[in-house]
């Protein structure tokens, strides 16, 4: 089933389906409130919203962390999981010239699948498909983090060659909870 899923660049062609997922309360970053905020942003200026999904020069507004603090944006881009409709999102971020990330950035890649499409192998396939884009940017490896209790995410990472690199405590902005950091060598 995962073979029918592909990554697409966010576009007007796919926007209505993305918005439908937001209306159902899905959000990659913060539940129904974040979904409503994204919907308002799209309704205000859909073209600007889509342009911000590909920000390789980090020209966008600063990032607001879960604790309300603000940090400079890193270069990055988003891809949408697509099987004829929106299925989720995967994001890649980096610092040019290094594999290092600032402490507030837990990993190079983040992903989420809408609940009604989970269990189909889409996250595994999305991670597999984004790795060549990371390699094309000169990355020798990427780091992906997950929670110790998120067995499904651990399997996604391991199926893509991820090796547990460290157990760590997330920064205070993320609740000082335990995390697992994996490396996937490219």
Backbone φ and ψ of 174, nearest 5°:
-110, 20
| CA neighbor of 145 nearest in space, from 98, 97, 93, 96 | 93
pTM here is: 0.93
Looking at the structure of the chain, the number of domains it has is: 1
What H or E segment, with its residue span, contains residue 48? helix 46-51
Q: Which domain holds residue 80?
A: 2-185
Per-residue model confidence (pLDDT) at position 2: 67
10-residue stretch averages of pLDDT, the chain, 186 residues long = 87 97 90 90 96 94 84 96 97 95 93 96 98 96 97 98 96 90 98
Per-residue model confidence (pLDDT) at position 1: 55
Q: Tokens 């990055």 sit at which residue?
A: 76
Per-residue model confidence (pLDDT) at position 144: 98
CATH code at position 160: 3.40.630.30
């Amino acid at each position: 089933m995962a073979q029918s899923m592909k990554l697409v660049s966010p576009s007007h062609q796919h926007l209505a389906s993305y918005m439908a997922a937001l209306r159902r309360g899905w959000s990659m970053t913060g539940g129904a409130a974040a979904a409503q905020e994204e919907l308002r942003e799209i309704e205000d200026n859909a073209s600007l919203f889509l342009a911000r999904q590909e920000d390789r020069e980090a020209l966008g507004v600063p990032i607001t962390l879960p604790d309300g603090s603000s940090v400079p944006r890193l270069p990055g881009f988003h891809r949408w999981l697509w099987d004829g409709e929106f299925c989720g999102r995967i994001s890649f971020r980096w610092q040019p010239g290094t594999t290092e990330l600032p402490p507030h950035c837990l990993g190079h890649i983040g992903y989420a699948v809408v609940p009604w499409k989970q269990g189909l192998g889409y996250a595994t396939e999305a991670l597999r498909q984004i790795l060549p884009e990371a390699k094309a940017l000169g990355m020798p490896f990427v780091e992906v983090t997950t929670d110790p209790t998120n067995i499904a995410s651990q399997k996604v990472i391991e199926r893509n060659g991820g090796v547990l690199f460290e157990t760590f405590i997330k920064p205070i902005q993320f609740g000082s909870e335990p995390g697992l950091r994996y490396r996937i060598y490219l």
